[in-house]
Amino acid sequence: MMMLPKVEDDEHDQYYMLIDRSKLLVDSFEYIAKLKNMPGSFFVEFKEEQATGPGVLRAWFLLASQEIFNPNNGLFVACPDDNRSFFTKSRNISHLPFVLAGAFEVNPLHLEYFRFSGRMTALALAYDVQIGVVFYRIFFLQLAGKGVLLEDIRDADPFLYCGCKEILNMDAKTVDQDVLGLTFVCEVESLGLRREIELCPNGKDTVVDSKNMETYVNLLIQHHYVTSIADQVTYFLDGFSDVITMSRLPTFFQCLSLEDFNLMLGGRSDISVEDWKAHTDYHGYEESDLQISWFWKIVESMCIEQRKMLIFLWTSIKSLPLEGFVGLDSRLSIHKTSEFDDHLPSSHTCFYQLCFPVYQSMKDMEDRLKMITKGYIGSSFGTV
């Protein structure tokens, strides 16, 4: 982590951003893309909302990153076996079950959005904000300047992987009888039009046989996962290097394993309730109070996504750092309020405070906690 730039809150070099939640991706892009140099700090407000401070900044990092990595926005596609794991894709891979969003397919700013994505990813790392996504191996390898092999695409593209394995495992005599009917070309689709791409010079006249089938498979993989996305990877790295300088960039990726990088970026996928309790203080309540006992029993009964949403509402952090709760800036706290017990819990995310009144039953508390951990509320609640 020593290679990451140290972020200091420099009020004299603060960059102000007013973000409309209904245009989160576009607004964030416009602010970040036009920066010539990275400012000393960022100050974020959401339009028509009063909340400000570190909690709002963390919320913006998380929500903007979710938009960047939303497959519907056409920049990245989720790995089939892990919807937290992402890689960029060619505009013309016809066999993947994801079609690039039309707006980005014809958008002249398509590549600039990858520069923006690189900046946002590096800034999230620099600000130590876990954004809840991880990179898939084929993308990380290219960021590290390494090659992509057949085994690297196994989970990202099972269809292509199995097809290539089937070719390589065929009997040499059978392949030489031209039963495959393959030449060194691949079919691609772009904007609804299909066309053939030669994988090598004179590829359409070069028949795949037992002597060159390994070369064919390697060229096919290189086309789909290296050549066809080379521009996107380059722009992403350019944006990343605006935060982590180019001279340090190769060392940064090469000294990290994929697992370490993804823990830094995505955070822990598990949440220990015991660790949570050990790092929570009480104000107005005592640990022995019924309401506190009920609260932790309810948390223990929650699924992992509900726990993440509750943490987000409490702190504007949805994924914990590698160290767990001890890795946060400060301890969490639960505060007693004097409101009537029909009120929902509220929070002060800048200070990691969760506030709720004296509920009269565990069921009342559970109903209200379930209400605030629903996704549609979680997008705006918890930044007061």
Catalytic residues: 350
Q: Cα dist. 264→124, 128, 215, 308 in Å? A: 9, 8, 36, 17
Q: Cα dist. 98→91, 102, 157, 302, 367 in Å? A: 10, 12, 11, 32, 38
Cα dihedral 334→336→340→342 (10° resolution): 20
What amino acid is encoded at 293 in this protein? Answer: S
Q: Find out whether 9 and 350 touch, Cβ atoms under 8 Å.
A: no
The rounded distance, in Å, linking the Cα atoms of 126 and 6 is 7
* DSSP string over 221-273: HHHHHTGGGHHHHHHHHHHHHTTS-TTTHHHHHHTS-HHHHHHHHH--S---H
Closest CA to 44 of 58, 25, 63: 58
Q: Cα dist. 212→56, 187, 198, 207, 218 in Å? A: 56, 19, 15, 9, 10
